[in-house]
Amino acid sequence: MRIQKGTYNGLESYSEVINQLDFENKETIDFEFFTIGSSSKQIPSPDSLQFNESESNFSNAISQIQELEDDFDASIILSDGIITFGRNPSIQAANLSIPLYSIALGDTSKVRDITISNIVSNPNGFTDTRHLVEVEVIQNGFLGESVTLELRNSSGELIDSNEIQFNSSESIQSTTFEIDLTEPGLKQFTIEISETEGEWSTENNTGTISIDVSESKTKILHLAFEIHPDVKMLRSLLSEDQNIELLTLTWLGGSRFVEDDLPELEEQDLLIFHGLPRPGFDTDLLDDFNLIPTLYFQLPKTRALRTGPLSELNLIHNTGNQLFELTLFPATESTDHPVMELPEIGFQNVSPIISSLRSVSTIPDGIELFKSGFQGIETPNTIINVNERGSMRRATVSAWGWYRMYQSPIENERAFVTQLFSNLTTWTANDPDERRLRVTPSKPVFNISEQVIINGNLNNESGEPEAEATIEFTLIPENGEERTSNMSNEGNGNYKFESQSLSSGLYSFTATARKGGREIDSQTGEFLVQDSNSELVNTLRNDELLLTIANGTGGSFFEYTRLEDFWTTLNSDDILGQKEDVIEAYTFPVRSLFWFVLVIFLLGTEWIGRKYYSLP
């Protein structure tokens, strides 16, 4: 809203709108004011708005209104309607119980400009691989001209360059770069468009990306011993993950597989079994499976296997002969296990899975993540069970038919099953973290206008939360002096470091936990701080969004230049009328000491009187 463009003069126009609305002199109306940024924050008045937010998350703003809608009669949004982060809030706003009145700030005219509108890149990468980066460029008014895009590393060294030719007066075009990743760590890259005469702004000619480079990919061997749609679903899901090196084998019979021979198991990070081999398979080929993390999916023909060399895979006995269509019931809170960090979904309405009603955990220290539901009632039957013993993790899924969710036309359902099996695979494949001190940035990349937050968790040598330690935190900028301070103690073994906005660059840190004279543990890490030009990528006011959310809630849409009827409209909608609240208060004499003593006195007097006059 602070950008000067067309007839809109940035902060000057905003101030004129605030003065025209004259909130301060509406003494009979109670107002509360919030910002629209990466999150919604309460401010004392519109004059205190700092215009320092790097993002506009409208979905977050609508969520804030939903939390407060029982306490207010209406909401007012002043914005240009441009979303730079988060979901489109139109459907979310339609569920509001109070009307929303939107005031459109900004300009609707197009400008002659070239912009990096989007950069698509996996935030994670691996050494000795080529990392794909796709850059999207939007231009208006540069027919017949060309620009050069340059890719540079954090030291400013040129890695690659591409040229784009504009063959129309308005276009969206893409180009691709490949980066050779050679060293592990958090790497930053900059993509810049060469400056062209006549551009409205050159600040939006630059984009940055960060890639967290690890040593190697996760090697997964997927063995399918039955033909089932779930097999194809899981393989499709895993093959789309660039962090996974997937090898698939489909059993033909005997000891033969369709694709290739069985590789050396010790080279794998995870074994996934879809079903189990039947008689005729040489189980000696899988002798070393117990040394590798395993994820076992039961299928109809081998679900009841209890004995044999591979029975150790099975954390759930599924012995019922009759099969049913079942629903899922979470058995663990989302905050209690990493696998349960899933998109919200209504479990009663998702596509059913298939299993028996006789499936129970086979190990006492297993963690039940999901149980089954039958006809809307939760059952004691285990659907997903995981276990961690020492450095070994195992998991079992006792139901099938997941492909129905994966093929569902409902986006939330597809997202849920995708995230579920992604989490389950990642958790099972990774080694348990046995560190006592864990210190993690709240996100890997911060904006220069954001507060940097580093969270820490500390356990003592007994594995219990350590709430009485001191954690020394040293922040080391790429170019500059290091700063040392103590993380604040949040209680129950949780610690936090907070810093006001930092200048752009790569920062590393060291955290050391001590109690008394002994050192408990230490950890190092890094994060990036970068500038953002997201507000300059799209400067075209989004009247359609502001109109949709206003009309969808029973409110009205206004342009900032036409506010003469704003308060009149709210008044005619009965928003500004005085509301009378009738409050009934009850006083119980028995709760008052005076009345209690008086009642006891009167009852005692009556009793003495009756006794006295009743005597002969």
Q: How far is CA 190 from CA 30, 119, 133, 207, 423, in A?
A: 47, 11, 11, 6, 31
- pLDDT score of 204 more than 90: no
Looking at per-residue pLDDT, the higher value among 248 and 45 belongs to 248
Average pLDDT of span 387-396: 87
Q: By the 8 A CB rule, do 345 and 369 touch?
A: no
The whole-number pLDDT of residue 370 equals 93
Q: By the 8 A CB rule, do 291 and 333 touch?
A: no
Q: How confident is the model at residue 1 (pLDDT cuts 50, 70, 90)?
A: very low
For residue 282 the two structure tokens come to: 């040489």
pLDDT tens per residue, range 541-587? 888 889 999 999 999 999 988 888 999 999 888 888 766 666 676 66
- pLDDT score of 361 more than 90: no
Share of the chain above pLDDT 90, in %: 28
Looking at per-residue pLDDT, the higher value among 102 and 444 belongs to 102
For residue 496 the two structure tokens come to: 């936090």
Coil vs helix vs strand at 107? coil
State the average pLDDT for the chain. 84
The whole-number pLDDT of residue 4 equals 52
Residue matched to tokens 């117990």:
290
The whole-number pLDDT of residue 537 equals 53
Residue matched to tokens 């990743």:
181
Between helices 229-239 and 411-429, what is the axis angle to 10°? Answer: 70
Q: What is the DSSP letter of 465?
A: B
Residues 181, 213: Cα–Cα separation, whole Å: 7
pLDDT tens per residue, range 146-155? 999 999 998 8
For residue 43 the two structure tokens come to: 């401010």
- pLDDT score of 533 more than 60: no
Residues 499, 508: Cα–Cα separation, whole Å: 14
Whether pTM > 0.85 for this model: the answer is no
Residues 256, 330: Cα–Cα separation, whole Å: 39
For 421-455, b/e burial (b = at least 16 CB within 10 A) is bbbbbbbbbeeeeeebbebebeebbbbebbebebb
- pLDDT score of 408 more than 80: yes
The whole-number pLDDT of residue 431 equals 78
Looking at per-residue pLDDT, the higher value among 85 and 69 belongs to 69
How many Cβ atoms are within 10 Å of 31's Cβ, its own excluded? 11
Q: How far is CA 582 from CA 550, 576, 579, 585, in A?
A: 31, 19, 10, 10
- pLDDT score of 294 more than 60: yes
Which of 82, 109, 115 minimizes the C-alpha distance to 202?
115
Q: By the 8 A CB rule, do 282 and 255 touch?
A: yes
Average pLDDT of span 174-183: 91
pLDDT tens per residue, range 440-468? 888 777 877 678 899 999 988 767 888 88
Q: How confident is the model at residue 341 (pLDDT cuts 50, 70, 90)?
A: confident
> With helix as H, strand as E and coil as C, how does 267-302 read?
HCCEEEEECCCCCCCCHHHHHHHHHCCEEEECCCCC
Looking at per-residue pLDDT, the higher value among 84 and 81 belongs to 81
Coil vs helix vs strand at 577? coil
Q: To the nearest 10°, the Cα dihedral for 125, 127, 132, 133?
A: 70
Considering 399-403, 408-412, 607-611, the range whose residues carry the highest mean pLDDT is 399-403
- HSE-CB at 593 with a 13 A cutoff on CA atoms is 0
pLDDT tens per residue, range 253-286? 888 888 888 888 888 889 999 988 877 777 777 8
Average pLDDT of span 135-154: 90
Q: What is the DSSP letter of 402?
A: T
Residue matched to tokens 């996760």:
218
Share of the chain above pLDDT 70, in %: 90
Q: If 0-12 CB within 10 Å is exposed, 13-18 middle and 19+ buried, where does residue 513 land?
A: buried
